[in-house]
Structure 1
Amino acid sequence: MNDPILLFGFTTAPLELISFVLSIITVVLTIRQNAWAWLFTIISSTTYAVVFLEAKLYGDTGLQALFILVSVWGWYQWLYGGDDHSTLPVSRLSRRGLAMSALLWLAGFAVLSLFLKHWTDTDVPYMDGFLTAGSLLGQLLLSRKKLENWHVWIAVDVLYVGLYVYKGLVLTALLYGLFVIMAIIGLRAWRRTA
């Protein structure tokens, strides 16, 4: 059912293709601050978890499970997380928030990298750990509609392109290249409303 197929000259799997389309829809809805983005995040995270598991990207597999949990919380936050349970507005992190975010990313990187190195058969424990921790931070910031989530996603997505090319997930590498462009668009759009 998920046998490789040839698409535009490169090999992919149907589930990777489905995940690709769902992820594009997710980011377009996110840029527009449409709360339905969270439903598409949940669905695309579920399908991508299977894709990453097959590629032995265990950090990314676990990240998809966390994305599902954070997405439920983020969906609620976007709808009711503002003052008096109103729609949550776009805001910026304070200096303290920026420092805490950096520390959270570093701590997550350290813990995840050590876990992946010693308890899995991945050949990229440090990159997988770093990007998994960064992605989790980006998702948490996105859930609270913090403008800085786009900065995190730009950094993470650029690095993911290389990782996915290395792992042979060419369609997903293309997706993350598109994500970089879309994150820049999202940053500009959200900056106008912050």
Structure 2
Amino acid sequence: MNDPLLFLGFTTTPLELVSFLLALITVALNIRQNHWAWLFSIVSSALYAIVFFGARLYGDMSLQFVFVAVSVWGWYQWLHGGVAHQALKVSRLSDSGWGISVIAWLAGFVAIALFLKSFTDTDVPYMDGFLTAGSLLGQLLLSRKKLENWYVWIVVDLLYIGLYVYKNLMLTAVLYAVFVAMAAIGLRAWKKTLADAAQAEAVAASSRA
């Protein structure tokens, strides 16, 4: 699965190509709030762990295993994490939630970067650590259907493009460029979901008055 091949003019491997396609399906389903996205996320993450190991991106590799676990949890949350164990609805972070998220990202960055620098042979410990921590935050917010997950993914995916170009994972760099566009679409779609829900609630309230 690691023999080089050409795809759309890029040198890749069958393993990276399959991971690429599964990741695209995952984000497309996330935008539509389809819970089957988590199944594709689990498989894609497991395959990308192998790809990143080969590129010595150990933070990203380890993150994929965390993604597998979080995806199982996220799948349950989307189906049963709402009020009275019903399907979870899109919501926004509170001000305190924003603060906690920023602090968690920075703390995760410091811890992961120090670990990578001290115990691995990666040549990009700080960037890998920063983006690994941000990706974990984005995944957790996505699991709870927080609108702000899309803001996190836009920032993270933009930076990942440069990292993967540096690591010569060109197809994955292209994937993350597509992810930026898809995250913008997801942000707009989820904002519309919130607006529609607020409008429906307003109509219901006026009918009860």
**How far apart, CA to CA, are the structure 2 residues paired with 1:98 and 1:8?**
40
**How far apart, CA to CA, are the structure 1 residues paired with 2:143 and 2:26?**
13
Report the alpha carbon displacement of residue 185 of structure 1 after superposing the two structures with TM: 0.1
Residue of structure 1 in register with 2:146 after alignment: 146
**How far apart, CA to CA, are the structure 1 residues paired with 2:65 and 2:57?**
13
Residue of structure 2 in register with 1:158 after alignment: 158
Report the alpha carbon displacement of residue 9 of structure 1 after superposing the two structures with TM: 2.5
Matches within 5 A, 1:114-153: 114-153=114-153
Residue of structure 1 in register with 2:93 after alignment: 93
How many residue pairs get aligned? The number is 194
Give per-residue Cα distances to partners, 1:136-187, cap 9 Å, x unaligned. 0000000000000000000000000000000000000000000000000000
User: Runs of 4 or more off by more than 4 Å in structure 1?
Assistant: none
Residue of structure 2 in register with 1:20 after alignment: 20
Residue of structure 1 in register with 2:59 after alignment: 59
**How far apart, CA to CA, are the structure 1 residues paired with 2:49 and 2:163?**
16
**How far apart, CA to CA, are the structure 1 residues paired with 2:116 and 2:86?**
40
Moved more, 7-16 or 163-172: 7-16
Give per-residue Cα distances to partners, 1:54-112, cap 9 Å, x unaligned. 00000000000000000000000000000000000000000000000000000000000
**How far apart, CA to CA, are the structure 1 residues paired with 2:10 and 2:74?**
35
Residue of structure 2 in register with 1:170 after alignment: 170
Residue of structure 1 in register with 2:104 after alignment: 104
TM-score normalized by the length of structure 2 = 0.92
Residue of structure 1 in register with 2:83 after alignment: 83
Residue of structure 2 in register with 1:191 after alignment: 191
Report the alpha carbon displacement of residue 8 of structure 1 after superposing the two structures with TM: 2.7
Residue of structure 1 in register with 2:39 after alignment: 39
TM-score normalized by the length of structure 1 = 0.99
Q: Secondary structure at the match of 2:22?
A: helix
**How far apart, CA to CA, are the structure 1 residues paired with 2:138 and 2:9?**
33
**How far apart, CA to CA, are the structure 2 residues paired with 1:70 and 1:106?**
20
**How far apart, CA to CA, are the structure 1 residues paired with 2:28 and 2:158?**
18
Report the alpha carbon displacement of residue 193 of structure 1 after superposing the two structures with TM: 1.2
Q: Secondary structure at the match of 1:35?
A: coil
**How far apart, CA to CA, are the structure 1 residues paired with 2:11 and 2:96?**
45
Identity of aligned residues (%): 70
